[in-house]
Amino acid sequence: MTLFNEPLSELIWDIKYRYRWQGKIMDQTMEDTWHRVAKAVAKAEKTPALRQHWQAAFYRILEGFQFLPGGRILAGAGTRNKVTLFNCFVMTIKKDSLDGIFEGLKEGALTLQQGGGVGYDFSVLRPQGDLVAKTGLGSSGPVSFMRVWDTMCSVLLSTGARRGAMMGILRCDHPDIEQFVTAKRDPKELRHFNVSVMVSDAFMEAVKQNADWPLIFPIHNKNTSSDVIMRQWGDSLEPVPCRVYSRIKARDLWELIQRSAYDYAEPGVLFSDTINRNNNLFYCEHINATNPCAEIPLPSYGACDLGSINLTQFVVAPFSAQASINWNGLEETARIATRFLDNVIDVSHFPLRAQREAAFNTRRIGLGVTGLADMLLMLGLRYGSAESIECARKIMQCIAHSTWQTSIELAEEKGAFPLYQPAYLQGEFVVTLTEPLKQLLAKHGVRNSHHNTIAPTGTISLLANNVSNGIEPIFRKEYERHVRMPHDEMQRFKVTDYAYQLWRKEHPHDALPPAWVDASSLLPDEHLKMQGAMQHYIDNAISKTINLPADFPFEKLTDIYTQAFHLGLKGCTIFRPNLVTGSVLVADEASVDHCCKP
């Protein structure tokens, strides 16, 4: 049986996921990789009989690319390499001091070295020009220290470490927010960072009212200012006194954020109050940051334990009048994958003890999907149509229900996550669960604090013969893709969309399927409605990019962000072709488009 339809898919396996040790190839075939991973993850089970049983079950869902674990799991599980199996972490800067900053830098470097991406809230650093008590000199501000992180990441790359991803976040009320928003206008600035602004409900209301907006920072010397307001800051669960440095028009800042995103695709926007209102652990943590692609908001030292169900493998009779979804197979795969991801926590290395403690205390997992757009096409549904949105909603509902059900059963078998408390039952997301699930939850607790997410899945989707990424629409039927090779050089490869490959094989002389639509012809509200329908069942978040044509009117951008906010999304990212941001996907030499951030 030929596993790889695309030469690039086999190359991706060879350079990213095939196990080598001291120059010797250990995985001779893709099946060897699946066996290695299944065996390693099953070691978390208590007895030899259980390990044997679950190893077979894990292999069954890995086979044929039905379930795609996160890339770090595929690359590291069952190897001698001392690497983490978690794709990303949110880190912290514990103190606004030189010691605190460089301790945070060291911890980030150790995490990147083991293959984990990192996200930081840089709002904890005092604004530029603020006096430092020990020296009497002015601080250089958060953006300047982000440049130190950026250089560190470059140095690690030069040593041959896995390319590191970083997320830099600043609050919308930090005094240096305008400098942060415009920092990446320089094509050479902060190239190893994605950047996002953490936006509050209060800011969105100030924009609506055209009100003044205070830029603030926690008080170090309580006698320095009489203009003080109380705001939550950093990891504190309670508001702290903050000095007002200046006041600007909220709409001016909002327009600056949007103009920057319009011109060079950054920053993204994260909705902090939506994130924290819907955090299942609202009673014991405050979230200020996300992983680099924003699909999992996390507390300090929190980690991403990711996996995606490849929806293309659950379509019966594709492209026919009888096309349907194998719901039983989808549910079974979701249940086995949930146990798989829970086991990953127990068998993984962690760069830092604090990361291990955070992972074991909450046992967060993120089970999601990929290949949604291809599946919809194979079912004869146009992506963005009312029928497609309803289908996507039912798919995510099925997966989420199976994940929660399994996690409750795992709690009964192995115990609930250590930070579980009765207050968990009052969480805004938890109360939306079905009554039978809530009754079981109250009786047994739950193994994992969080369960579902949708990641960008760029490389693992390419491994699975180029299925459409995550919940993104099909980019093009054929296009060129930039791939980073082992020595950090970029090469272009021509690839074909998975569903289009299947259609062309069965209909070599026909036109495109009637339901065909790609990213170039979708409206922004079709992206948003799809994301909103699935977010309802997801307790983490969704990585999604709204592709805009070059001639999209800037004046309409506010509508996109406002709709995202009112739909209850946890963030919003746009991409419009520009000369500053690089490209992963290329339609042709004259037309550059983008699917997810490089």
291 is catalytic: yes
547 tagged catalytic: no
- Helices and strands in the chain, H and E counts: 19, 23
Tokens 């690039």 correspond to 8
**Of the listed 194, 291, 452, 469, which one is catalytic?**
291
Q: By three-state DSSP, how is residue 304 classified?
A: coil
In the chain, what is the greatest distance between 2 CA atoms, to the nearest angstrom?
Answer: 79
Q: Could you confirm whether 284 is annotated as catalytic?
A: no
> In this structure, what are the phi and psi dihedrals at residue 18, rounded to the nearest 5 degrees?
-75, 130
Structure tokens at 342: 């829970």
Closest CA to 246 of 136, 95, 168, 129: 129
Q: Which of 88, 153, 172, 293 is catalytic?
A: 293
Instruction: Label each residue of 505-554 as H, E or C.
Output: HHCCCCCCCCCCCCHHHCCHHHHHHHHHHHHCCCCCCECCEEECCCCCCH
d(CA 139, CA 125): 9
Strand extents, DSSP E, 94-157? 117-121
- Find out whether 247 and 212 touch, Cβ atoms under 8 Å: yes
Query: What SS3 string covers 473-494?
Result: CCCCCEEEEEEECCCCCEEEEE
Q: Where are the alpha helices (DSSP H) in 183-271?
A: 201-209, 250-264
- CB within 8 Å of 388: residues ≥ 6 apart: 376, 381, 382, 530
Q: CB of 130 within 8 A of CB of 124?
A: no
Nearest CA to 449 out of 279, 272, 271 is that of: 279
Of 149, 153, 294, 189, give the one whose Cα is nearest residue 580: 189
Crossing angle, helix 386-414 and helix 524-535, to 10 degrees? 30
Interatomic CA distance for residues 232 and 236, integer angstroms: 6
Signed CA dihedral, 259, 262, 263, 266: sign only = positive
Task: Compute the C-alpha angle 89/90/93, nearest 5°.
Answer: 130
Cα dihedral across residues 172, 295, 77, 373: positive or negative: negative
Please tell me which residue in 6, 45, 266, 295 is annotated as part of the active site.
295
Q: Which backbone phi and psi does 50 adopt, to 5 degrees?
A: -65, -40
453: amino acid identity, one letter:
T
Residues marked as catalytic: 291, 293, 295
